[in-house]
């Protein structure tokens, strides 16, 4: 997994631009939380990681995390996995609901929709 650290609000324009070419994964993570560490380990087992993947430490970058929650109209949680397509959040899962298989399936489905031009 090649993480790009999400550390400032200015990176959101980069995320939006990337999401017009490929689904983008944002993983909101608290390194102090055992559930978050477990979910991150699951995400890192994903087979297909050729899409942009952003890692957001919610402890050190709380304002960025709150802005992401507000901008994508999702409840702030940690751990939390978001998939962004064409500048919109199309998938949101948290805690024990985060699995490598489900994320892989969702990302592949959105990739296919993007290639087909249906989104």
Per-residue pLDDT reduced to its tens digit, 20-76: 999 999 999 999 999 999 999 999 988 766 889 999 999 999 999 999 999 999 999
- Close Cβ partners of 13 (under 8 Å, ≥ 6 residues apart): none
Domains of the chain: 3-116 (3.40.30.10)
Query: Binning pLDDT at 50, 70 and 90, where does residue 89 land?
Result: very high
Among 67, 80, 92, 71, residue whose Cα is nearest residue 33: 80
- Close Cβ partners of 65 (under 8 Å, ≥ 6 residues apart): 28, 56, 58, 76, 78
Percent share of the chain, pLDDT over 70? 97
């Amino acid at each position: 997994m090649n993480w790009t650290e999400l550390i400032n609000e200015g990176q959101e324009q980069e995320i939006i631009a990337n999401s017009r070419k490929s689904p983008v994964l944002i993983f909101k993570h608290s390194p102090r939380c055992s559930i978050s560490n477990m979910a991150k380990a699951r995400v890192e087992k994903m087979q297909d990681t050729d899409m942009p993947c952003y890692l957001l430490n919610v402890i050190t970058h709380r304002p960025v995390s709150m802005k992401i929650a507000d901008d994508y109209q999702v409840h702030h949680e940690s751990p939390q996995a978001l998939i962004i397509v064409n500048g919109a959040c199309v998938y949101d899962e948290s805690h024990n609901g985060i699995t490598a298989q489900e994320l892989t399936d969702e990302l592949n489905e959105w990739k296919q929709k993007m290639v087909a031009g249906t989104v």
